[in-house]
């Protein structure tokens, strides 16, 4: 265990080949139990990364972030002197999808000599830490998620109508129920939520901000220091993450595969 309620490092597993179903089931159970799990010294190729991820379900193709050109299932995050990190905010991935990813598998290819850690927050604990009156207020509350808030500027003007048709705004419960554990988790982030249904953007901002701050409690977090060939696997429902952008102008290169999930339910 790394944090009080979240994070565990697993050893004794070689991810380079197809794993027995029993081992995959053990890894998945550890993921369910700890929300994020870590592996060290896994010298796997991009193809092996994709193969490992596929053992947990169908993989997504991200429409806005460039991929590894040989493997479109892998989103490539390549940062250096000319491109700083921008994922330094608490979030679940792709909540603007009708069915956000359920699992993310991130591999370190090149890491800076200092900095570049990733933090993870337990969103079960974030919900449970709310007072009773706030939890009562959240019953039935729905948030409207929109890719435009983060990726809108990356879409050429002549393609915006097409992308909007493919990815309309979606509504998700502010408190989801995990399909495996049946535990409630807080499903709110500042990056992709446009507003709370029934409220204006101006009225929504204080609500979003109050709930998003729950992920910022250090007591709900763990922190992972990357090394080459390290891998993090997290439950995109039960955990949020924050990639520290504290290494400029050094180089940080990562690749991520995401496993397609289900529509969140209250």
CATH label of the domain that carries residue 82 = 3.60.130.10
The answer to whether position 265 is within a domain reads no
Position 84 pLDDT exceeds 80: no
Per the residue annotation, which of 145, 172, 241, 252 is the catalytic one?
241
Structural domain includes residue 65: yes
In a domain, 68, yes or no: yes
pLDDT in tens, 146-160: 998 888 777 788 888
Residue 38 is assigned to a structural domain of this protein = yes
Contact 242, 89 (CB under 8 A): yes
Q: 36: Cβ–Cβ under 8 A, 6 or more apart, which residues?
A: 6, 7, 8, 120, 222, 224, 232, 233, 234, 235, 239, 241
Q: Choose among 16, 28, 49, 38: nearest CA to 117.
A: 38
Residue 110 pLDDT exceeds 90: yes
Answer yes or no: 178 catalytic.
Answer: no
> Would 61 be classed as within a structural domain?
yes
Out of 49, 92, 195, 256, which one is annotated catalytic? 256
Beta bridge partners of 121: 221, 240
- pLDDT digit string, tens, across residues 181-239: 999 999 999 999 999 999 999 999 999 999 999 999 999 999 999 999 999 999 999 99
Residue 1 in any domain: the answer is no
Query: Residue 159: exposed, middle, or buried by beta-carbon count in 10 A (0-12, 13-18, 19+)?
Result: exposed
91 is catalytic: yes
Please name which of 6, 5, 1, 2 lies closest in space to residue 234, comparing C-alpha atoms.
6
| 241 is known as an active-site residue | yes
pTM confidence score? 0.95
pLDDT at residue 104 in the model? 98
Burial of 202 (0-12, 13-18, 19+ CB in 10 A): exposed
- Asked if the structure places residue 264 within a domain, the reply is no
pLDDT of amino acid 146: 95
Which of 62, 92, 93, 97 is an active site residue? Answer: 93
Judge whether 42 lies within some domain.
yes
**Which candidate in 62, 91, 145, 237 is catalytic?**
91
Number of domains the chain is built from: 1
Question: What tokens does 232 get?
Answer: 């993090």
Give the Cα separation of 260 and 57 in Å (integer): 7
Query: Residue 188's domain spans which residues?
Result: 8-259
Structure letter (DSSP) for residue 108? E
């Amino acid at each position: 265990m790394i944090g009080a309620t979240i994070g565990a490092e697993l050893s004794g597993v070689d991810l380079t080949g197809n794993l027995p179903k029993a081992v995959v089931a053990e890894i998945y159970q550890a993921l369910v139990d700890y929300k994020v799990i870590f592996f060290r010294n896994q010298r796997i190729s991009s193809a092996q990364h994709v193969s490992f991820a596929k053992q947990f379900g169908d993989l997504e193709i991200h429409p806005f972030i460039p991929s590894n050109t040989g493997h479109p299932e892998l989103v490539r995050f390549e940062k250096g002197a000319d491109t700083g990190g921008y994922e330094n905010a608490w979030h679940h991935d792709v909540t603007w999808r009708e069915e956000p990813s359920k699992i993310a598998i991130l591999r370190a290819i090149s890491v800076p000599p200092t900095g570049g850690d990733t933090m993870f927050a337990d969103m079960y604990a974030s919900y449970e830490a709310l007072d009773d009156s706030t939890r009562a207020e959240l019953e039935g509350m729905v948030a409207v998620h929109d890719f435009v808030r983060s990726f809108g500027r990356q879409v050429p003007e002549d393609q915006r109508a097409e992308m909007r048709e493919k990815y309309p705004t979606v509504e998700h419960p502010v408190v989801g129920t995990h399909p495996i554990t049946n535990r409630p988790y807080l499903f709110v982030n500042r990056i992709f939520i446009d507003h709370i249904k029934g409220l204006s953007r101006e009225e929504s901002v204080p609500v979003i901000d109050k709930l998003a701050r729950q992920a910022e409690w250090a007591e709900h977090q763990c922190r992972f220091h990357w090394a080459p060939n390290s891998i993090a696997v997290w439950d995109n429902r039960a955990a949020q993450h924050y990639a520290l952008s504290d290494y400029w102008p050094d180089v940080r290169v990562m690749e991520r595969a995401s496993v397609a999930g289900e529509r969140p339910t209250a």
